[in-house]
């Protein structure tokens, strides 16, 4: 399941393969409030078909109108600004006097779109540099923690691919839903399960499967503050091995499935057998997920990702109850 901007790139590449003209728009700057963040993409086909979104629809409508009027017949990248005045901001649905700037890029062989998609399909994070004078693109591996986008008078540098990472312990049914939903939210997903009866049947495009022991996987994962780790096996021999390392790591989120009673037993085991301190144990999200009344595996996966998102943005939200954890 692709995230929105990857879906835009795939659609644009498909249109190019059909020999259609395509202009790619990237939000490069915003002032005040804006409906979509910097780096968001929209593609406009030569007949006015749209893929992606940079606003609530008003800007997309204007892009189509400009295309039909011949204003988007570009031979090189060009900036376009919306919402400069209050009247224009209202016209284009930009709240609170918001302003945004797009870089419009006519796609062609010089855009390296197919190569970008090949790298993204492999789960790589890629730095894409667009020469604003020529439209030529160069691709390079992105450094971890690199900014999403920067623009100068000569270059637009954007970063594509998973900015966040999710390590899931256990390859059961719930992991299928969690992994696919997480990909749609921009996570690079790795699943760890040494059990043959689970790992043998696990296969999701774009998700890495490892059969090593969980503690070794967490140690080798180079966990940082853009990493989430979720234990879903219900097997203390596996979940606890992962958690004893994860709770000492800089991961922004560590969660484990199980009822409140089982979570209390888990805390006692981790303290007694692995020497984890109270401050480390307090980092554990368990029962995992927000309390949305979840019962089925996809609902629980949704609740987990909702809580991960809330933690990322330091938002509120009530924790799951025992009955929401299978």
* pLDDT higher than threshold 50 for residue 323: no
* pLDDT higher than threshold 50 for residue 273: yes
How far apart are the two ends of the chain, measured CA to CA in Å?
24
Predicted local distance difference test score (pLDDT) of residue 187: 92
* pLDDT higher than threshold 80 for residue 320: no
Confidence of residue 156 (pLDDT cuts 50, 70, 90): very high
Q: Is the torsion defined by CA of 63, 65, 71, 76 positive or negative?
A: positive
pLDDT tens per residue across span 171-183: 999 999 999 999 9
The helix (run of H) or strand (run of E) holding residue 61 is: helix 58-68
Q: What is the mean pLDDT of the chain?
A: 88
Predicted local distance difference test score (pLDDT) of residue 100: 84
Predicted local distance difference test score (pLDDT) of residue 316: 52
Predicted local distance difference test score (pLDDT) of residue 326: 43
* pLDDT higher than threshold 80 for residue 318: no
pLDDT tens per residue across span 281-294: 999 999 999 999 99
pLDDT tens per residue across span 50-109: 999 888 778 888 899 998 888 888 999 999 988 755 565 556 555 555 678 999 999 999
Confidence of residue 321 (pLDDT cuts 50, 70, 90): very low
Distance separating alpha carbons of residues 249 and 219, to the nearest angstrom: 9
Predicted local distance difference test score (pLDDT) of residue 85: 59
pLDDT tens per residue across span 201-256: 899 988 999 999 999 999 999 899 889 999 999 999 999 999 999 999 999 999 99
> What average pLDDT does the segment 301-326 reach?
73
Predicted local distance difference test score (pLDDT) of residue 123: 77
Domain extents in the chain: 4-160, 164-324
The helix (run of H) or strand (run of E) holding residue 138 is: strand 137-141
pLDDT tens per residue across span 11-60: 999 999 999 999 999 999 887 666 778 999 999 999 999 999 888 778 88
List of residues 6+ apart from 3 with CB closer than 8 A: 183, 184, 185, 186
Q: Residue 185: exposed, middle, or buried by beta-carbon count in 10 A (0-12, 13-18, 19+)?
A: middle
List of residues 6+ apart from 71 with CB closer than 8 A: none
Distance separating alpha carbons of residues 37 and 57, to the nearest angstrom: 15
List of residues 6+ apart from 312 with CB closer than 8 A: 164, 252, 253
Predicted local distance difference test score (pLDDT) of residue 161: 83
Predicted local distance difference test score (pLDDT) of residue 4: 76
The helix (run of H) or strand (run of E) holding residue 303 is: helix 297-312
Q: What does 191-254 look like in DSSP terms, one character per residue?
A: EE---HHHHTT---TT-EEE-S-HHHHHHHTT--TTEEEEE-S--HHHHHHHHHHHTTS--SEE
* pLDDT higher than threshold 60 for residue 266: yes
Instruction: Tell the CATH topology of 164-324.
Output: Rossmann fold (3.40.50)
- Token pair, residue 321, equals 């109850």
The model scores a pTM over 0.75: no
> What average pLDDT does the segment 128-134 reach?
97
Predicted local distance difference test score (pLDDT) of residue 51: 95
Predicted local distance difference test score (pLDDT) of residue 72: 85
Distance separating alpha carbons of residues 219 and 310, to the nearest angstrom: 26
């Amino acid at each position: 399941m692709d995230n929105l901007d990857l879906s835009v790139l795939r659609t644009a590449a498909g249109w190019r393969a059909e020999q259609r003209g395509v202009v790619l728009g990237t939000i490069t700057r915003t002032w005040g409030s804006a409906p979509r963040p910097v780096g968001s993409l929209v593609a406009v086909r030569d007949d006015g078909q749209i893929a992606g979104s940079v606003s609530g629809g008003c800007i997309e409508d204007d892009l189509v109108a400009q295309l039909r009027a011949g204003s988007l017949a570009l031979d090189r990248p060009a900036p376009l600004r919306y919402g400069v005045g209050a009247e224009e901001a209202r016209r284009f649905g930009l709240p609170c006097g918001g302003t945004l700037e797009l870089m419009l890029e006519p796609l062609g062989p010089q855009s390296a779109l197919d190569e970008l998609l090949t790298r993204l399909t492999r789960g790589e994070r890629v730095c894409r540099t667009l020469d604003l004078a020529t439209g030529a693109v160069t691709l390079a591996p992105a450094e971890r923690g690199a900014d999403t986008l920067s623009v100068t008078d000569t270059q637009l540098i954007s970063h594509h691919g998973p900015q966040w990472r999710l390590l899931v312990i256990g390859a059961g049914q719930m992991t299928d839903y969690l992994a696919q939903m997480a990909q749609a939210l921009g996570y690079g997903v790795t699943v760890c399960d040494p059990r043959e009866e689970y790992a043998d049947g696990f296969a999701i495009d774009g998700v890495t499967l490892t059969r090593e022991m969980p503690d070794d996987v967490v140690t080798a994962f180079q966990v940082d503050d853009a990493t989430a780790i979720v234990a879903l096996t219900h097997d203390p021999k596996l979940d606890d091995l992962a958690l004893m390392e994860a709770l000492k790591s800089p991961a922004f989120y560590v969660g484990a499935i199980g009822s409140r009673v089982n979570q209390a037993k888990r805390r006692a085991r981790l303290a007694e057998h692995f020497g984890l301190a109270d401050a480390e144990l307090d980092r554990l999200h368990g029962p995992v997920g927000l309390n949305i009344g979840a019962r089925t595996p996809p609902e629980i996966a949704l609740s987990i990702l909702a809580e991960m998102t809330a933690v990322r943005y330091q938002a509120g939200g009530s924790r799951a109850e025992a009955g929401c954890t299978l």
